[in-house]
């Protein structure tokens, strides 16, 4: 939600109409299968079970933080990655990347927890296992087998394919957010203040990855300008834009109680319950979205506007000061939208594509300097001294990325 926005919020149009809860009709609750699943798997080396290959990623600290991948080569097809954090406090997430796209990930990987897994169906080509905070963050992975050539595909068809992959990414993020918010609600209900603070920081990135895509859903029976029915407003309102007629709600109401008041009350439990209810509603609606290439481009630019207007100022996380967690998530969400457009955009304007990719790399490198395993969410606290020392540098780098990215929508819309 951009800084300074009035209390009314804009609707999001999809399939030519406003999206409301009433538009669900007879759609049942969907079990989404995004880029990450919540199952577990075993196996310390690459192996094949039926038609599924298995790779283990082991995180350790034996003098330095290491990310060991059990194999550098697998065959094409479904691959299950099992992640075990044995002793690393600096590495809290693992991602599977191809050409900057996240194809699978696991986050909040505290040492000593049970192994977790995700499964992705991979075609032949080069991939990378990315472990932010490791001594060697990127490990190459080669997938052998045939791969469909896109050499003769048109830019328009490649861009359209990108929208389909991005839709799966958004669905996966919202599915994981439901799980994270349910955990937050559970610990709030139990009165566990310390656990709830950790849960809050863990849940925030999922929304920040995709907020520009899911900010226009309106409950049935409400107008688009009615904050009482706008899901984005109810989930993510801040004190600075709170509508007195609606009252306090959402993530930041919980944040205020946990971090500023330092207490879980009956009101806190009500806020957490309302948040969980609205996030579950959002998860039912998100699969109804259709994306055009320019939607991805506009969303990517919108997330960077969020960085400049809310995160760098410290307004977003006024009580917990985990703004860098949100900021990094906005950049990551923007990068994913660009990455899914990249094959088609390369045909349209290879120079612009290269420029944007380089600026994303520079921004990621800058943000990696703020990773801190000892702080909530894995990033330095955005307190007054940190903000004074670094806000200008972050803002300048984000602007350097934002300038070429702002040209993207027109390019892909006319491809």
- Residue 258's contacts (CB-CB under 8 Å, 6 or more residues apart) are 193, 196, 197, 200, 264, 268, 319, 320
pLDDT score recorded for residue 151: 64
**Structure confidence by residue, pLDDT tens digits, 106-144:** 888 889 988 988 888 888 999 999 999 899 999 999 999
Q: What whole-number distance in Å separates Cα of residue 135 and Cα of residue 325?
A: 21
CA dihedral defined by 393, 363, 94, 350, rounded to 10 degrees? 180
**Structure confidence by residue, pLDDT tens digits, 314-332:** 999 999 999 999 999 999 9
Q: Which residues pair with 307 in a beta bridge?
A: none
- Residue 157's contacts (CB-CB under 8 Å, 6 or more residues apart) are 344
pLDDT score recorded for residue 50: 47
pLDDT at 227 over 90: no
Average of pLDDT values for 327-342? 96
Average of pLDDT values for 369-395? 96
Q: What whole-number distance in Å separates Cα of residue 178 and Cα of residue 184?
A: 10
Assign 263 a pLDDT band (cuts: 50, 70, 90).
very high
pLDDT score recorded for residue 8: 33
pLDDT score recorded for residue 110: 86
Quote the DSSP letter at residue 121.
Answer: E
Q: Model pTM?
A: 0.77
Helix 323-348 and helix 155-189, axial crossing angle in degrees, nearest 10: 170
Burial 351-384 (b: 16+ CB within 10 A, else e): ebbebbbebbeebbebbeebbebebbbbbbbbee
Where is average pLDDT lowest: 217-231, 340-354, 384-398?
A: 217-231
Q: What is the mean pLDDT of the chain?
A: 86
**Structure confidence by residue, pLDDT tens digits, 1-46:** 333 333 333 333 333 324 444 333 323 222 223 333 333 333 334 4
pLDDT score recorded for residue 39: 35
Share of the chain above pLDDT 70, in %: 87
Average of pLDDT values for 245-254? 92
pLDDT at 310 over 70: yes
């Amino acid at each position: 939600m951009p800084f300074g926005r009035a209390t009314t919020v804009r609707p999001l149009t999809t399939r030519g109409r406003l999206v409301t809860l009433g538009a669900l009709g007879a759609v049942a609750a969907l079990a989404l299968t995004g880029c990450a699943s919540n199952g577990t798997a075993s196996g310390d080396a690459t192996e094949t079970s039926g038609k599924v290959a298995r790779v283990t990623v082991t995180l350790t600290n034996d003098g330095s933080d290491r990310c060991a991948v059990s194999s550098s080569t697998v065959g094409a097809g479904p691959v299950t990655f099992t992640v075990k954090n044995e002793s690393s406090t600096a590495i809290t997430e693992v991602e599977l990347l191809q050409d900057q796209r996240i194809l699978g990930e696991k986050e909040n990987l505290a040492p000593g927890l049970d192994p977790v897994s995700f499964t992705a169906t991979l075609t032949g080509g080069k991939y990378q296992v990315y472990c932010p905070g490791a001594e060697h963050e990127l490990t190459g992975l080669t997938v052998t087998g045939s791969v469909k050539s896109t050499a003769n595909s048109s830019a328009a068809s490649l861009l359209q394919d990108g929208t389909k992959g991005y839709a799966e990414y958004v669905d996966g993020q919202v599915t994981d957010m439901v799980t994270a918010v349910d955990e937050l609600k559970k610990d709030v209900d139990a009165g566990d203040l310390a656990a709830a603070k950790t849960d809050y920081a863990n849940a925030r990135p999922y929304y920040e990855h995709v907020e520009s895509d899911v900010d226009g859903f309106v409950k049935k029976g409400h107008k688009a300008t009615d904050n009482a029915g706008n899901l984005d407003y109810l989930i993510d309102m801040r004190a600075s834009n709170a509508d007195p007629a609606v009252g306090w709600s959402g993530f930041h109401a919980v944040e205020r109680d946990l971090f500023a008041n330092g207490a879980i009350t009956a009101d806190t439990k009500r806020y957490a319950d309302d948040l969980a209810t609205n996030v579950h509603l959002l998860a039912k609606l998100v699969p109804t979205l259709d994306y055009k290439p320019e939607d991805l481009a506009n969303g990517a630019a919108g997330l960077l506007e969020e960085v400049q207007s809310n995160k760098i100022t410290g307004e977003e996380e006024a009580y917990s000061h985990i703004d860098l967690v949100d900021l990094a998530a906005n950049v990551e969400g923007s990068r994913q939208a660009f990455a899914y457009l990249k094959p088609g955009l390369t045909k349209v304007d290879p120079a612009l594509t290269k420029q944007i990719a380089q600026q994303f790399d520079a921004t990621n490198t800058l943000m990696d300097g703020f990773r801190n395993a000892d702080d909530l969410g894995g990033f330095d606290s955005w307190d007054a001294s940190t903000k004074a020392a670094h806000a200008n540098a972050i803002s300048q780098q984000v602007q350097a990325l934002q300038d070429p990215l702002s040209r993207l929508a027109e390019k892909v819309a006319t491809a």
